[in-house]
Structure 1
């Protein structure tokens, strides 16, 4: 008897098993979320942009599913990012726009979207804007930061710590400042002025763009920021190079993880102010810097598509392109966006903007591209980014613990275009609250004056002493308050909003 025959059979069986498991695991798509900053519903070509072209985004839409009623969870950045990654509304954490040295706002013990995907066998990476806080108190930027993306569920991170208009103006890779010279340590201060880089209010002659009073701290690369900074000269970013640095890091991550399922959260700085376009994109639009950085952002999207195509991954990669909140023309820097906008409508036909409870504050350009599974077309399903956690968990066959993702619901069929059924009720967080129910839009009363810092941005946040109710089918610009004519609808939506807020 040949004793090698049973051995060969056993080895063959093991190899078959390994191959089967590898194929089963590989059946899960790569997942890429491209998260743009301050991009309005109407800011892309496929949604009617005028004065700027977005060919790479439009190509995703022509080969994917373009959503007409998909929303971020809040009309400002930190709250939306918190909800996206945790599946929980930001008000439950009292999340607000964070300073550049704020502690980590996500509880490291809670479940998150990237942690869930890690359990499903994914490598997870974030490249770009973070703005969810770092550390657990005062940050020492000269050492490895103890709390950040790693504790939230990311295997790899390359960050803009907060925003481009806030110090520190350095990149942080795997929670350490990139290119830091230990002989030139970084000090950051919010509130107390510290000597170091010149201050914008004292040296306007150094500025590429003039600013409002809130952005007159440290001047770095000719841009006056919020906050004060000293040291770290070799680590400072150059604003004009940021899109190239981030795109290179994101495409390198794709190349390095091409053989296993991965999740990439590509969180762009554009089109947030300060809008500093690289010379490659200057005058690529008719709208000045804001239009130019839209074109720049579109180029970054194209780099991701090309990297996936190069590795043969585009067919089985679920790409979700969207934004963190509505558009804003004047957010502190004088770049003539209001004067040069022309016929372009950043929010499309919808009223509102960043900081606003009106519809354009949260109704986001949203495209899902997955050629293997998603048919090209449009969808009017009412969806919220807070639901991506539960929806993607369903896609990759993962269960979410009872106390995690408390506001996230599974609408994977709607996200993939297999159903038009979305949310019955959808919360819109702003400086008051909005609620959607079908085509009805309700805004909670707020009998307080609009803060001066919002007034200076030419924003209507939606404050009103009485309830506001609009029928978006008949009145997408929310111009006619129908609350008095529909008391039963108001009562139903008020009750639902109360139940959400008190949950």
Structure 2
């Protein structure tokens, strides 16, 4: 019954706009609605791309997008882990508003079916919508991308899988979360998955052009998430690299993005396509996160500050570096505004970025941003940041002067400290509790780690296994 009510709720929210879909579709040619391509990397290191300063991993295609578009230097995801970050991206709302605060491993969990995705809304304007790659927002039919506004889905429903077809591990008939799923059906594939996803997206783009309809293509790559696997020819290119597999995987990711962009050019679609690139959260220990502190799963900058660029030839000035506080919450409202959509069924937490990067609007997209995974929290107010760990403590930093979060300013700035704590409390009162628990075994590990990180020490305990060994030794 709850599932039925959820479907009815979304239907009611979208009913009035959906009535107009047929008329809107007939006007597509006249309106020249922009296409949208989102390139989403997984667990990418902050400094592992040329446009982010990498000297030993060439990424010429992303560098070209960066030089022709806008690079956001103070850009953040809504969470430092995968699934909640994706929920915030697709809804344009803090995922904490609907309880999607933690990652999950079990099929009964997923993104609240009363939430409206960017694909849901774009379809009311006649868009073809597709997602290729990682979903990680639920494996049940009512959580499936085809039930969340996407006409086309080719990818996997879980949080990670290998890059090559493997019927004994990821691609068995019973591997619902890792097998390749094409619109609800299990499919085999040949080749390297990063390439396969790009090829499928290219087919979709070409088909959309033939249909003369605008499109949304979300390429949700699993690169460079573990397991670390790359093509032999790419491994050979980086045989002397200290992080050979990550370098090869990143190179292949860039190559796949280049193939999609080349298709847009050949099809005459580049100037009418708004493009985004970013990672879903901070890099892991496999990535180069310099100069940021910590990595994925933590509320320091290394957990949620990500490479982030926007490209729209002829509409967005190229070669721009934008320093204003920005979020992946802003992707959906930017896209919808570009598509001429001013109203949404639910209020969004993001803003349209185009007026800020084009100089039409002063100030920053955000003065405040917030993060929370259970007891681990953070708040921004302009250049100041609070990181708080329940039962451990909290610290205040000035990121303009200390992006690496090394100098604690609690004593020096008591008024700023109080404001950040008050802002965080007020925000927490405005959202809801997590709809499901976090991954078992990590709470005590995180307390040890935050205690070390607050003192600028390398964490001594980083996994439940290490904690168990420590307790045995004692």
Question: Which consecutive aligned stretches of 4+ in structure 1 deviate over 4 angstroms post-superposition?
Answer: 17-20, 415-420
Is the aligned partner of 1:501 residue 2:428?
A: yes
For the structure 1 residues 274 and 19, does the alpha-carbon distance in structure 2 shift closer, same or farther, using more than 3 Å as the test?
closer
How far off its partner does 1:146 sit?
Answer: 5.1
Give the distance between the partners of 1:250 and 1:63, measured in 2 at CA. Answer: 22
Q: Which residue pairs with 1:173 in the alignment? A: 182
For the structure 1 residues 134 and 83, does the alpha-carbon distance in structure 2 shift closer, same or farther, using more than 3 Å as the test?
same
Q: How does 1:210-221 map to 2 (within 5 A)?
A: none
Q: How does 1:249-268 map to 2 (within 5 A)?
A: 249-258=200-209, 259-268=212-221
Is the CA contact (8 Å cut-off) linking 1:389 and 1:405 kept in structure 2? no
Is the CA contact (8 Å cut-off) linking 1:469 and 1:483 kept in structure 2? yes
Give the distance between the partners of 1:147 and 1:436, measured in 2 at CA. Answer: 32
Q: How does 1:313-332 map to 2 (within 5 A)?
A: 313-329=269-285
Q: Provide the secondary structure at the position in 1 that maps to 2:404.
A: coil
For the structure 1 residues 115 and 170, does the alpha-carbon distance in structure 2 shift closer, same or farther, using more than 3 Å as the test?
same
Greater Rg, structure 1 or structure 2? Answer: 1
How far off its partner does 1:165 sit?
Answer: 3.9
How many equivalent residue pairs?
386
Q: Which residue pairs with 1:381 in the alignment? A: 324
TM-score, with length taken from structure 2:
0.77
Match for residue 337 of structure 2 among 394, 418, 435: 394
Match for residue 234 of structure 2 among 281, 287, 298: 281
Give the distance between the partners of 2:111 and 2:421, measured in 1 at CA. Answer: 29
Q: How does 1:11-160 map to 2 (within 5 A)?
A: 21-26=27-32, 28-92=33-97, 93-99=99-105, 102-103=107-108, 105-135=110-140, 145=141, 147-160=143-156
Q: Which residue pairs with 1:221 in the alignment? A: none
Q: Which residue pairs with 2:418 in the alignment? A: 491
Q: Provide the secondary structure at the position in 2 that maps to 1:467.
A: strand
Give the distance between the partners of 2:198 and 2:92, measured in 1 at CA. Answer: 27
Structure 2 alignment gaps of length 5 or more: 1-22, 163-169, 431-474
Give the distance between the partners of 2:122 and 2:255, measured in 1 at CA. Answer: 28
Structure 1 alignment gaps of length 5 or more: 1-16, 136-144, 179-234, 330-336, 338-344, 448-464
Deviation string, structure 1 residues 289-343 (Cα, Å, up to 9, x no partner): 11111111111111110111111111111000111000112xxxxxxx4xxxxxx
How far off its partner does 1:394 sit?
Answer: 2.3
Report which of the two has the higher share of helix. Answer: 2
Is the CA contact (8 Å cut-off) linking 1:125 and 1:154 kept in structure 2? yes
Give the distance between the partners of 1:494 and 1:265, measured in 2 at CA. Answer: 36
Give the distance between the partners of 1:367 and 1:346, measured in 2 at CA. Answer: 18
Indicate the larger mover: 152-161 or 410-419: 410-419
Give the distance between the partners of 2:312 and 2:289, measured in 1 at CA. Answer: 26
Give the distance between the partners of 1:103 and 1:495, measured in 2 at CA. Answer: 35
Q: Which residue pairs with 2:409 in the alignment? A: 482
Give the distance between the partners of 1:134 and 1:379, measured in 2 at CA. Answer: 37
Give the distance between the partners of 1:306 and 1:126, measured in 2 at CA. Answer: 19
Match for residue 446 of structure 1 among 390, 396, 403: 390
For the structure 1 residues 47 and 61, does the alpha-carbon distance in structure 2 shift closer, same or farther, using more than 3 Å as the test?
same
Is the aligned partner of 1:300 residue 2:305?
A: no
Q: How does 1:161-240 map to 2 (within 5 A)?
A: 161-165=157-161, 167=170, 168=175, 169-178=178-187, 235=188
Deviation string, structure 1 residues 178-224 (Cα, Å, up to 9, x no partner): 2xxxxxxxxxxxxxxxxxxxxxxxxxxxxxxxxxxxxxxxxxxxxxx
Indicate the larger mover: 280-289 or 112-121: 280-289
Deviation string, structure 1 residues 243-271 (Cα, Å, up to 9, x no partner): 12111101101110012210011100100
Match for residue 366 of structure 1 among 289, 308, 323: 308
TM-score, with length taken from structure 1:
0.72
Kindly report the root-mean-square deviation, in angstroms, between the aligned alpha carbons of the 2 structures. 2.3
Give the distance between the partners of 2:24 and 2:134, measured in 1 at CA. Answer: 38
Is the CA contact (8 Å cut-off) linking 2:24 and 2:126 kept in structure 1? no
